[in-house]
Amino acid sequence: MKARARFDDDSGLEGIRVGMIEAEGLDWNAAGAADCFPAIIAEARARGEGLISPARKAAVRGMLRHGSYKPAGRAKPSSEYLLQAALEGDFPAVNYFVDAVNVVSLITGYPISIIDLDKSGAELLLRRGRAGETYVFNAGGQAIDLTDLLCVCRAAPEGFVPTANPVRDSMATKLFPGASRAAAFIYAPAGAEGAGLEEACRSLCGYLAGAAAFQIPMTRLHAHREGMALFKVGRLGRTGERPPAARPEGSHADSTTLRAAQPGIVRATGSGALTACAAASSGRP
């Protein structure tokens, strides 16, 4: 069943753009494709704090700041944790798919979640956390207060319950070896500092396509409202192209360009490795 995500009818979601990438047929024997990650992390470390501009950091924090939620200290975006870890030589290595998410987050400055769709179910909702909502985010049983924090929610008997956010994801739907389907959410602010969202989506699609047994013959994008783009990644059971190298903020990945098919819908087109993320040439969504 295809995943469906939508924004809640909540006035607290203005100024937020989200790219959702759905991947099927995860091949856990393809971890060798991660050999490009150390060089990217090393380049990021060499660039230091200047890797991500102060304007982008401020805009990402501003996207999370709402009501009682203050994105600072332990509540800062996960992308800032990753940059700090890279600078300290302690960048996390988890598994290929999580590592791909972390590398793209590191070099774009956008926080990214990835969840196991077989655990979360196909119906997903983005909304602000409500007073008193929490979830456990690590094996030690630590919980995060979700009040007013932007959350991805999964359907449950009691309604939609939070399962991921731009700071820490829930243990309930974390991605572990053996999972077959996943969805990643890239969170970006509206305006100029969110202009890199589509490139971030293309980069992550490229890494997923680069895993053995992955190929993306066609990417379907659907918007549930202006501000959300959905990228579908499918498995054909044959080796995909080498993923394009992720680039630091402000650099140009390749000749691939983006055009708007209609408000809220974005289609990737062009040549090179990123054509793996391109829509069908017919132009149909």
Q: Tell me the pLDDT tens digit for each residue of 162-182.
A: 999 999 999 999 999 999 888
Give the CATH architecture of domain 4-196+224-235.
Answer: 3-Layer(bba) Sandwich (3.50)
121-152 core/surface letters (b: 16 or more CB in 10 A; e: else) = ebebbbbbbeeebebebeeeeeebebbbbbbb
The position carrying tokens 């190929």 is 215
Q: Which residue has the higher pLDDT, 2 or 232?
A: 2
CA distance 234 to 217: 8
Among 125-139, 240-254, 265-279, which is the least confidently predicted range? Answer: 265-279
Average pLDDT for 117-130:
95
pTM: 0.80
Distance CA 63, CA 189 (A): 6
Strand boundaries in 143-271, DSSP class E: 143-145, 150-156, 159-164, 181-189, 228-233, 257-262, 265-269
Task: Note the pLDDT of residue 113.
Answer: 97
On whether the CB atoms of residues 98 and 113 are closer than 8 A, the answer is no
pLDDT for 154: 97
Q: Which two tokens stand for residue 74?
A: 């332990």
